[in-house]
A and B are shown apart, each in its own frame.
Chain A
Amino acid sequence: MATTASAVMSQVMSPRPLPEANRPVVPSAVLGTLIFVVAEVMFFVGMISAFTISRAGAPAGTWPVPGQPTLPAEATALNTVALVLSGLLLLVGQVLFAKKQAAAKWLVLAAWGLGVAFVGLQGREWSQLLSAGLTMTSSRLGAFFYLIVGMHGLHAIGALVALGLAALQLLRDRLEGGLFFGAQVFWYFVVLMWPIIYARVYF
């Protein structure tokens, strides 16, 4: 009993901070999102791998399928620039957020806006391709295109929801680091995955 009391007293009197056993090395939201992102990267790698092998195995003159529209690589370059710029703005926003500067909220909002623009431009492109006759069942290119780019679009929408929530909390000055960093990890995954998909599928 005396030993316990003495241990408690020495802790109370000690100027050293108590061990923060519950303080995680990285926020749980970040670690959870990272594990999710690792799984999702493999999901996309699997699809791109299947696409590459299918395309390499296509007999001469059948890729792209004659009579089917080609993918608008030049027009999609604008979407790509918007998305990459969004990632860069978020990166700068994160640095300013860490320094507790007010400009961080506007950069995060701008990054979110560019992300929304990317999804909107992708939607317009899909609508044009569908009306030109490229559908999921019209050719292997169509099937792979809508599957890979569509899944990326779904991830982009999910990440935009998370980033939008973070931006909303940032505007109200109630943002917690965990949500913001988790949304960031998700958004960086969407941003970094896109140039690989663009280079592989569109050209």
Chain B
Amino acid sequence: MLTTLACSVCGAGQDGTEWAYLAMTGVVSLTPLAMIGGVAFWLYRASKRREAEDAARAEALDPRVAPTSLR
């Protein structure tokens, strides 16, 4: 016999769907945080790398400029 439910949520209390709700709540909650954190960290790294490149170029052009590590 087939059971007909009005919508997917009507079966939320069943054992079979409980893990799916919990797992998907975790995925939907954590994915944006992980992505935004990842992009922010990547931008931070890119910014630091750019600063190091600029400092190295300035040093190469003018040896009187103190190395970044000594500033």
Secondary structure at the A interface, as helix, strand, loop or mixed, is helix
B33 to A: closest C-beta gap in Å: 11
Write out, one digit per residue, whether chain A residues 1-35 have a CB within 8 A of any chain B CB (1) or not (0). 00000000000001111001000011000000010
B23 at the interface (CB under 8 A from A): yes
Instruction: Report the number of A-B residue pairs with Cβ-Cβ less than 8 Å.
Output: 64
B23 to nearest A CB, angstroms? 7
Number of interface residues of B (CB under 8 A): 32
* A113-149 contact mask (Cβ, 8 Å, vs B): 1 or 0: 0000000000000000000000000000000000000
Contacts of A50 in B (CB 8 A): 8
Question: Across the two chains, which residue of chain A brings its CB closest to B63?
Answer: A15
Neighbour of B28 across the interface among A16, A34, A49, A55, CB < 8 A:
A49
- Given the interface contacts A34-B39, A38-B39, does A52 sit within 8 Å of B14 by beta carbon? no
Task: Please report B residues at the A interface, Cβ cutoff 8 Å.
Answer: 2-3, 5, 8, 10-12, 14, 16-17, 19-21, 23-24, 27-28, 31-32, 35-36, 39, 43, 46-47, 50, 54, 57-58, 61-62, 65
Residue pair A15, B62 in contact (C-beta under 8 Å) = yes
Q: CB within 8 Å of B: which of A43-65?
A: 45-46, 49-50, 52-57, 59, 61-62
With an 8 A cutoff between CB atoms, is A75 at the interface? no
Given contacts A25-B46, A41-B35, A53-B20, 8 further A-B contacts (CB under 8 A): A17-B54, A25-B43, A38-B32, A41-B31, A45-B28, A49-B28, A54-B8, A56-B17
Tell me, in angstroms, the Cα distance from A57 to B8 when the chains sit together: 7
Cβ–Cβ < 8 Å partners of A38 in chain B: 32, 35-36, 39
Q: Smallest CB–CB gap between B19 and chain A, Å?
A: 7
In Å, the complex CA distance between A56 and B25 comes to 14
